[in-house]
């Protein structure tokens, strides 16, 4: 098991501002600066029906199927995640390209596999995210990662429609 298996609280203060910077870049039409490591997610509010947007890190990109994998770093209670589950047909933007996708939460075993790929390809980022989120995805065993995904860290596949 891990040191801590539940995501603490969503970010606030300076961290929240820093995490919103990629959205500002997209709104200024500078999303191309982020390359393919981040994507802009357009989703519909499940209560308001209004279009919302957020920028999330891409943890893996399956180039053959053009499937993007993202993680709800603040857990199953994140507003954007709940919106995706209520209305999974959404639009994403990567760099300057937009297209329609369908969101699907992966089973914990597949989600853990994606996180293992992520920490292998981006060890520094995995370590930093572990520190910020309060979950040690950088060093947790595969079995421990399955538990983390099941309990508090959903991995989502965004498949082209």
Strand (E) or helix (H) holding 131:
helix 123-133
Please state, as a whole number, how many other Cβ atoms lie within 10 Å of the Cβ of residue 43. Answer: 25
Strand (E) or helix (H) holding 84:
helix 79-86
> Which tens digits make up the pLDDT trace of 24-83?
788 788 888 788 889 999 999 999 999 999 999 999 999 999 999 999 988 899 999 999
* Helices vs strands, H then E, count in the chain: 5, 6
Contacts of 147 by beta carbon, 8 Å cutoff, 6+ apart: 1, 2, 5, 108
- Displacement of CA 17 from its chain's centroid (Å): 17
**pTM of the entire structure?**
0.86
Domains of the chain and CATH, by start: 13-160 (2.30.110.10)
């Amino acid at each position: 098991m891990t040191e801590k298996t539940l995501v603490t609280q969503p970010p606030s203060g300076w961290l929240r501002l820093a995490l919103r910077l990629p959205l500002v870049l997209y709104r200024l039409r500078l999303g191309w600066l982020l390359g393919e490591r981040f994507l802009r997610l357009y989703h519909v509010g499940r209560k308001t029906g209004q279009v919302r947007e957020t920028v999330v890190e891409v943890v893996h990109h399956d180039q053959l199927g053009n499937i993007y994998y993202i993680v709800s770093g603040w857990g199953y209670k994140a507003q954007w995640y709940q919106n995706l589950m209520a209305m999974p047909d959404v639009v994403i933007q990567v760099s300057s390209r937009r297209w329609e996708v369908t969101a699907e939460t992966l089973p914990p075993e597949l989600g853990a596999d994606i996180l293992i790929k992520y920490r292998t390809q981006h060890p520094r980022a995995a370590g930093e995210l572990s520190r910020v989120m309060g979950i040690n995805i950088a060093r947790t065993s595969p079995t421990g990662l399955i538990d983390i995904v099941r309990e508090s860290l959903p991995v989502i596949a965004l498949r082209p429609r």
